[in-house]
Structure 1
């Protein structure tokens, strides 16, 4: 299942990302390559009416002039261009967006809708376009020599009761876990030296690192555990809307192969979280 949609860090941070230098690495390949065999010309998709929200930076939000911008907004437009169909994007309040899709007021919802059992009965979902791994963070001098096999007795800050704490319990039980009420508090413990490492949501950690690059850095590799961290971000369509879903999946493969997905990722996520 996809992790529940959560507000990201600071709204102002998303605006700062626009001017930040790109130092992120390209995305791993998430889309199903078999989708390239599903040609959108074989189905009837005259247009795609995307629904989104305006409160989920840096994915979908309004800039200082009120214009709807973000990673998801750019991606939706590129999907329509790739499929060569007309495209509209309309913002809804988060608590109304899913119902608007179910009521056929749009063809697709690109807003981080969780792939829960209830949502699975109402909607179908595209291939994952952005996975959400877990990662360690350490102070810069400790990050270079990080070894996950040498965590015995080391203090690892983690959000208490969350999926990343369960990961540590299951896969790295020798680590000494320090539970915090929030991921930010756990990251600050590493910065302040009261914990050796942080482990948690890599995307949130990337935003925090972007704000304080001199302090800390990612340590080791990204951990992909869909059963714990969720399957990542997808695009929801009404159940049974196979032509639209197939067109989106086809476009996602094309956009990965021609470099567009990497381009958007580098633009919106200067500190890469993979």
Structure 2
């Protein structure tokens, strides 16, 4: 089975300098494939084209931190969530931004990855801010570090990982955003082509199995200090 992922979203999926795919999504995918007794091969794909590539048969499933949303569910079928962490905002350490409300970010330039729930939320919520779209989180984090942005928004786990690295020493977490289910969905799921119910059921059974047998916790604890599976819904 071929698994599509982005490879530009640490700590979830990332290509190392020597071309190795690493991260939480990758370890979870490998664990699910082992549970399903199938051999899996990864295909990297730019985020903006990842759903069309699935539909075109370039791979059989997307395991790339894709939030389950009604808009995407019109194009693909989703499994149950395999993690659910809130969005957040980060800014330089000397920022005057005190929170994550519309008023807090008024007049500021916010960097966000396009074609993401974070971008959709920013466009709808921060109407008094300039929203600058990027192909992936790597680009906007670089611009934030170089002083070209006032703030950025992404998954809290992504931002915390970056802030703990030397590259993120410039900046701090301003606060977490309370997810809006209509925009953010119930969490990140695995996407397959429409109508592939059998594959969805197999993935769901495998997710339940690795949650129950401790494999999920083992992978979770390698990357995070808390359970990223999150609460229900």
Change (3 A) 1:122 1:266: same
Per-residue deviation, 1:245: 0.9
Q: Does 1:179 align with 2:130?
A: yes
Q: Does 1:158 align with 2:119?
A: no
Change (3 A) 1:122 1:156: closer
Name the CA distance, whole Å, in 2 between partners of 1:101 and 1:148. 34
Q: Does 1:120 align with 2:73?
A: yes
Name the CA distance, whole Å, in 1 between partners of 2:227 and 2:152. 16
Q: Does 1:256 align with 2:200?
A: no
Per-residue deviation, 1:217: 3.1
Name the CA distance, whole Å, in 2 between partners of 1:270 and 1:131. 14
Q: Does 1:205 align with 2:163?
A: no
Q: Does 1:131 align with 2:84?
A: yes
3-state SS of 1:223 partner: coil
3-state SS of 2:81 partner: coil
Change (3 A) 1:159 1:216: closer
Name the CA distance, whole Å, in 2 between partners of 1:262 and 1:228. 28
Q: Does 1:89 align with 2:26?
A: no
Contiguous gaps of at least 5 residues in structure 2? 113-118, 134-139
Name the CA distance, whole Å, in 2 between partners of 1:163 and 1:96. 20
Name the CA distance, whole Å, in 1 between partners of 2:176 and 2:152. 11
Contact 2:4 2:64 in 1 (8 A): yes
Match of 1:26 in 2: none
Contact 1:101 1:237 in 2 (8 A): yes
Per-residue deviation, 1:266: 4.4
Name the CA distance, whole Å, in 1 between partners of 2:69 and 2:177. 24
User: Which string of whole-angstrom CA distances, capped at 9 and with x for unpartnered residues, describes residues 154-176 of structure 1?
Assistant: 9866349862363356xxxxxxx
Match of 1:9 in 2: none
Per-residue deviation, 1:235: 1.0
Contact 1:51 1:101 in 2 (8 A): no
Contiguous gaps of at least 5 residues in structure 1? 1-48, 170-176
Per-residue deviation, 1:228: 3.1
3-state SS of 1:126 partner: strand
User: Which string of whole-angstrom CA distances, capped at 9 and with x for unpartnered residues, describes residues 117-152 of structure 1?
Assistant: 77534531112223353324466699xxx7779x77
Name the CA distance, whole Å, in 2 between partners of 1:166 and 1:237. 28
User: Which string of whole-angstrom CA distances, capped at 9 and with x for unpartnered residues, describes residues 8-56 of structure 1?
Assistant: xxxxxxxxxxxxxxxxxxxxxxxxxxxxxxxxxxxxxxxxx13214643
Per-residue deviation, 1:225: 1.7
Contact 1:187 1:205 in 2 (8 A): no
Per-residue deviation, 1:222: 4.6
Coordinate RMSD, CA, aligned: 4.7
Question: Which protein, 1 or 2, shows the higher relative CO under an 8 Å CA cutoff with sep ≥ 6?
Answer: 1
Contact 2:86 2:155 in 1 (8 A): yes
TM-score (norm: length of structure 1):
0.53
Match of 2:197 in 1: 242
Per-residue deviation, 1:101: 4.2
